């Protein structure tokens, strides 16, 4: 029994890391969905959201990057965000790969790299979005 308990204690932190990683990667897809809605509220015509299936953090990152690459050029061309955020297409090296063989450390680095590019874009769009009269936040994660 003590051996099983020791194994579970070792595995528990790994599951916690997996959960945090999954949440962080999924959050980026939600941010890009919100960015799409904000662009529409600003009178832009963002490309429709691609239907895609997420099978985990890697898929969420791919979905978020693809969305960003569709949304950012439109916001930049319309001067809706600061020109310093208009850095062209985001093509991280890992984008063309797949999830097999990726450990949590690598996925965390990929998530952090993606967040560093997408969060400033999302934040800038959230700041430009029309505020609702009821005082609700435009970007619920803000």
Q: Is the pLDDT of residue 64 over 80?
A: yes
φ/ψ region of 48 (left if φ > 0, alpha if ψ in -120 to 50, else beta) reads beta
**pLDDT for res 141:** 67
Pairwise pLDDT comparison (50 vs 72), residue with the higher score: 72
Average pLDDT, the chain: 84
The answer to whether 142 and 132 are in contact (CB under 8 A) is: no
Domain count, the chain: 1
Distance (Å, whole) CA 29 – CA 15 = 21
Residue 136 lies in a domain: no
Residue 30 lies in a domain: yes
Residue 39 lies in a domain: yes
Start-to-end CA distance of the chain, whole Å, equals 45
- Alpha-carbon torsion (106, 109, 115, 118), positive or negative: negative
Residue 55 lies in a domain: yes
Q: How far is CA 129 from CA 67, 68, 134, in A?
A: 18, 17, 14
Residue 134 lies in a domain: no
Average confidence (pLDDT) over 130-137: 80
Residue 93 lies in a domain: yes
Residue 141 lies in a domain: no
Q: What is the DSSP letter of 141?
A: T
Instruction: Render pLDDT for 4-57 as a digit per residue (tens, 0 to 9).
Output: 334 334 444 444 447 889 999 999 999 999 999 999 999 999 888 777 777 789
**pLDDT for res 38:** 93
Which residue range forms the structural domain that includes residue 86?
2-44+51-128
Residue 133 lies in a domain: no
């Amino acid at each position: 029994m003590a051996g099983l308990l020791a194994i579970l204690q070792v595995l528990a932190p790994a599951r916690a890391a997996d959960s945090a990683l999954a949440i962080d990667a999924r959050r980026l897809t939600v941010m890009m969905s919100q960015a799409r809605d904000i662009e529409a509220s600003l009178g832009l015509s963002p490309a429709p959201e691609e239907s895609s299936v997420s099978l985990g953090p890697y898929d969420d990152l791919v979905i978020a990057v693809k969305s960003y690459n569709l949304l950012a050029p439109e916001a930049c061309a319309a001067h809706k965000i600061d020109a310093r955020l208009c850095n062209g297409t985001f093509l991280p090296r890992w984008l063309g790969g797949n999830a097999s063989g990726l450990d949590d450390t690598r996925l965390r680095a990929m998530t952090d790299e993606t967040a560093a590019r997408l969060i400033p874009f999302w934040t800038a769009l959230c700041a430009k979005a029309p505020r609702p009269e009821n005082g609700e936040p435009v970007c619920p994660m803000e």
